[in-house]
C-alpha cells in the first residue's frame, strides 16, 4: 500500500495542531482556549480530541485502515507528562528518559520523549546555532594567552573562582590559583606571575569583564581608548588585549574549564584538602605539572615568542594607580588617610605637584613622582622608612658646564706645554740646553727668572712680526715715534 504524500502546508498545520493539543493535555490550556487559538469551533476540537484518543497524533492526517504498531496511546502520553510535572521538573530530558525506563518501566524513544516535552511547553526548544569554524591554534608559544575565571564548588560547601592562564598554541597551564573572587588585583597577580616566570608575551585573550575592558553600552564593542587598570598595565608592557564577544569564541578556554571541573574537586577530596591555602599549594606544587603532562599538545612550529622583560618596574606596572595633588603642607589624602611627604633633595616643596599613589599587590602603598619614590606606607597607612631619592646625573655623553669641574675643561699639561712652545724654536733650544746642563751634574745653571723673561720677549717679538698679528689684538711699532698703531 502506497504511503500518502502530504503537502508542506498540511504538515505545518498538523504540527501546530499537535502543539496546541499537547498543551491542552498538559492542562496549560483549556480545550476551549485551544479551539480559539486554532480558529475552529468547540465541536471540531472535540472531534480532534476523540481522533487523538483513538489513533494518536498521527490520526490527525493519517487515514490508514491499520494503525501503526508504534503508536503511543493517549493515556501513556498523559502519564509521561504528569510524571515530569510532578516529580522530575528539574531533570533534563536525557536524565528524565533514563528514569522512565529504570524507575517506571516505560520504554520510549528519547526522540519521542523530548518532542512530547517540547510540544507541551515543559522543556525549552533549543535553537539551531549558526555554523562556526574552529580557529586554528597559534603556531608558537607566547603569541596568545587565555585568561579567565570559573566559579565552581571546588571544595564541599565552598564556592571559589579558579583563575587559569593557558597558552593557545600548546594548552599549557602557566598559572592556576583559587581566589575568593575574580577581580582586578587577582587578575594582575596572575599576569605578573606569568611575566616573571615566562617573560613578555604578544597578546592576551579574555572576556569583556569590567576589570578587563570598559563597555559604554551593553552588547556594544569595548572602548579601546578608556582602559582599565589591567589594560593600562598591558599597554605599559606593549601586550595587546583581545576581547571575546561570545562564549563560543572562548571555546578553547571553556572546554579547559570543563576538564578542571571534572577532575580538580575529586583530587582535592581524595587528599582531604579543605582550605584555600592548601588547595593553592597543591595546585602550584603538584597538580599543574600533572595536568600539563596529560593535556598539553605540541606546537605547530618550533621556537617561542616569550622575551625577557627589561627596563620595567613590575611593582609599579602591576599596581593600581591613583593620581593625587599635593597640598600646600606637602600632604596627600588617600583612602581616609592623610600622608605627610618628607623633605627630599629633589624639590624644595612638592605643593601643587601631581603624584601617583601605587596600590601594590601585597597591600602596601607608595607615592611616586616621575621615576622617584617619595614615600611608602603599609596597608594600615603607617609610614615605611624609604631611602631619600637622589638627583639623577645627566644621561648625555657630553658633560655640562654646571656639573663638570674646571680642571676637567683644561687640556692636559703635556698638551698645553707643547702648544705653547710649538711656534718658538728658541724656547725649545733653551729648554734643551737647560736639561743638558743640569744633566751633566752642573749646579750652576741659567737663572729661571731670566730664562722666562727672554722667552716672553722672544714670543712677543715673533708674534708682532707675524702677518696675522693685527687680527689678534697685538701692537705693531711704526717708524713714526709719535704714532703707535693699536690693532683692534
- Out of 102-111, 227-236, 421-430, the most confident range is 227-236
The pLDDT tens digits for 309-337 are 988 999 999 999 999 999 999 999 998 89
Neighbours of 255 (CB within 10 A): 10
Confidence of residue 64 (pLDDT cuts 50, 70, 90): low
Whole-number pLDDT of residue 470 = 46
Q: According to CATH, where is 3.30.420.10 located in the chain?
A: 145-295
Q: Does the structure show a pLDDT above 60 at 77? A: yes
- Hey, what long-range contacts does 180-187 have (CB within 8 A, 24 or more apart)? 180/276, 182/149, 182/151, 182/209, 182/211, 183/211, 184/211, 184/228, 184/229, 184/230, 184/320, 185/320, 185/361, 186/149, 186/161, 187/147, 187/149, 187/163, 187/211, 187/212, 187/230
Give 357-375 pLDDT, tens digit per residue.
999 999 999 999 999 999 9
* Dihedral angle of Cα 12, 15, 17, 21, to the nearest 10 degrees: -170
- Does position 51 have pLDDT exceeding 90, yes or no? no
Answer whether residue 422 shows pLDDT above 80.
no
**Least confident stretch, 341-350, 390-399, 467-476:** 467-476
- Please check whether residue 376 is in contact with residue 365, taking contact to mean a CB–CB distance below 8 angstroms: yes
Residue 81 has pLDDT above 50, yes or no: yes
Pick from 24, 119, 14, 12: which is nearest to 63 by CA? 14
Greater confidence, 422 or 77? 77
In this predicted structure, which of 50-59, 251-260, 379-388 has the lowest mean pLDDT? 50-59
Say how far apart CA 482 and CA 488 lie, in whole Å.
Answer: 19
Question: Is the model more confident about 433 or about 231?
Answer: 231
Of residues 436 and 162, the one with the higher pLDDT is 162
Q: CB-based contacts of 222: which residues, under 8 Å, 6+ apart? A: 208, 213, 214, 215, 243
**pLDDT (tens digit per residue) in 16-28:** 777 787 788 777 8
Across the strands, what pairs with 146?
Answer: 166, 205
- Of 11 and 74, the structure prediction assigns the larger pLDDT to 74
Average pLDDT of span 269-288: 94
pLDDT tens sequence across 177-195: 999 999 999 999 999 999 9
* Proportion of the chain above pLDDT 90, given as a percent: 45
Distances (CA, A) of 390 to 345, 349, 374: 7, 15, 11
Exposure pattern of 188-209 as b/e (b: 16+ CB <10 Å)? bbbbbbbbeebebbbbbbbbeb
The yes-or-no verdict on residue 404 having pLDDT over 80 is no
What pLDDT is stored for residue 61 in this prediction?
A: 57
φ, ψ (nearest 5 deg) of residue 250 = -100, 35
Is it the case that residue 281 has pLDDT exceeding 70? yes
pLDDT class for 291, splitting at 50, 70, 90? Answer: very high
Per the model's pLDDT, the better-predicted residue between 445 and 159 turns out to be 159
Q: What distance in Å separates the CA atoms of residue 372 and residue 361, rounded to the nearest whole number?
A: 19
The predicted pLDDT at position 60 comes to 64
What pTM was computed for the model?
0.57
Residue 442 grid coordinates? 752642573
- With a cut of 70, say whether residue 15 has pLDDT above it: no
Of residues 60 and 1, the one with the higher pLDDT is 60
pLDDT bin (cut points 50, 70, 90) of residue 424 is: low
State the chain's mean pLDDT as an integer.
80
Which residue would you say has higher pLDDT here, 57 or 135? 135
Other beta carbons less than 10 A from residue 358's beta carbon: 21
Measure the CA–CA gap between 99 and 93, rounded to whole angstroms. 10
Question: Judging by beta carbons within 10 Å of its beta carbon (0-12, 13-18, 19+), is residue 34 exposed, middle or buried?
Answer: buried
Pick the CATH number of 145-295 from 3.40.50.2020, 3.40.50.300, 3.30.420.10, 3.30.465.10: 3.30.420.10
CB contact at 8 A, 165 and 174: yes
pLDDT given for residue 340 in this prediction: 94
Amino acid at each position: 500500500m502506497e504511503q500518502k504524500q502530504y503537502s508542506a502546508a498540511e504538515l505545518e498545520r498538523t504540527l501546530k495542531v499537535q502543539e496546541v493539543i499537547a498543551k491542552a493535555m498538559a492542562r496549560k490550556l483549556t480545550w476551549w482556549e485551544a479551539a480559539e487559538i486554532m480558529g475552529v469551533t468547540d465541536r471540531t476540537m472535540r472531534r480532534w480530541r476523540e481522533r487523538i484518543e483513538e489513533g494518536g497524533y498521527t490520526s490527525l492526517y493519517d487515514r490508514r485502515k491499520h494503525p501503526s504498531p508504534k503508536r503511543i496511546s493517549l493515556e501513556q502520553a498523559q502519564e509521561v507528562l504528569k510524571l515530569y510535572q510532578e516529580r522530575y521538573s528539574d531533570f533534563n530530558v536525557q536524565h528524565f528518559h533514563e528514569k522512565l525506563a529504570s524507575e517506571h518501566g516505560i520504554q520510549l524513544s528519547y526522540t519521542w520523549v523530548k518532542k512530547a516535552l517540547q510540544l507541551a511547553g515543559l522543556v525549552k526548544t533549543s535553537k539551531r546555532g549558526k555554523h562556526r569554524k574552529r580557529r586554528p591554534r597559534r603556531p608558537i608559544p607566547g603569541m596568545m594567552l587565555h585568561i579567565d575565571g570559573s566559579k565552581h564548588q571546588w571544595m564541599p560547601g565552598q564556592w571559589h573562582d579558579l583563575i587559569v592562564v593557558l597558552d593557545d598554541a600548546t594548552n599549557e597551564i602557566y598559572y592556576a590559583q583559587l581566589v575568593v573572587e575574580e577581580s582586578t588585583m587577582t587578575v594582575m597577580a596572575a599576569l605578573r606571575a606569568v611575566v616573571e616566570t615566562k617573560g613578555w608575551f604578544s597578546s592576551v585573550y579574555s572576556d569583556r569583564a569590567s576589570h578587563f575592558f570598559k563597555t559604554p553600552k551593553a552588547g556594544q564593542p569595548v572602548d579601546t581608548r578608556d582602559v582599565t587598570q589591567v589594560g593600562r598595565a598591558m599597554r605599559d608592557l606593549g601586550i595587546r588585549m583581545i576581547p571575546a564577544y561570545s562564549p563560543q569564541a572562548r571555546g578553547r578556554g571553556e572546554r579547559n574549564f570543563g576538564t578542571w571541573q571534572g577532575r580538580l574537586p575529586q583530587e582535592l577530596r581524595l587528599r582531604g584538602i579543605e582550605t584555600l591555602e592548601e588547595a593553592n599549594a597543591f595546585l602550584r606544587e603538584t597538580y599543574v605539572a600533572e595536568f600539563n603532562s596529560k593535556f598539553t599538545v605540541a606546537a605547530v612550529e618550533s621556537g617561542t615568542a616569550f622575551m625577557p622583560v627589561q627596563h620595567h618596574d613590575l611593582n609599579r606596572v602591576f599596581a593600581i594607580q591613583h593620581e593625587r595633588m599635593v597640598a600646600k603642607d606637602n600632604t596627600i589624602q588617600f583612602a581616609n588617610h592623610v600622608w605627610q611627604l618628607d623633605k627630599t633633595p629633589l624639590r624644595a616643596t612638592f605643593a601643587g605637584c601631581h603624584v601617583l599613589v601605587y596600590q601594590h599587590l601585597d597591600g602596601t602603598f607608595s607615592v611616586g613622582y616621575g621615576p622617584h619614590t617619595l614615600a611608602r606606607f603599609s596597608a594600615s597607612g603607617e609610614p615605611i622608612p624609604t631611602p631619600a631619592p637622589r638627583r639623577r646625573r645627566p644621561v648625555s655623553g657630553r658633560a655640562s658646564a654646571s656639573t663638570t669641574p674646571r680642571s676637567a675643561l683644561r687640556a692636559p699639561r703635556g698638551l698645553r706645554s707643547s702648544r705653547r712652545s710649538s711656534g718658538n724654536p728658541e724656547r725649545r733650544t733653551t729648554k734643551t740646553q737647560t736639561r743638558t746642563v743640569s744633566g751633566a751634574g752642573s749646579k750652576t745653571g741659567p737663572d729661571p727668572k731670566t730664562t722666562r723673561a727672554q722667552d716672553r720677549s722672544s714670543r712677543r717679538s715673533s708674534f708682532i712680526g707675524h702677518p696675522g698679528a693685527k687680527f689678534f689684538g697685538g701692537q705693531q711699532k711704526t717708524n713714526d715715534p709719535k704714532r703707535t698703531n693699536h690693532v683692534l
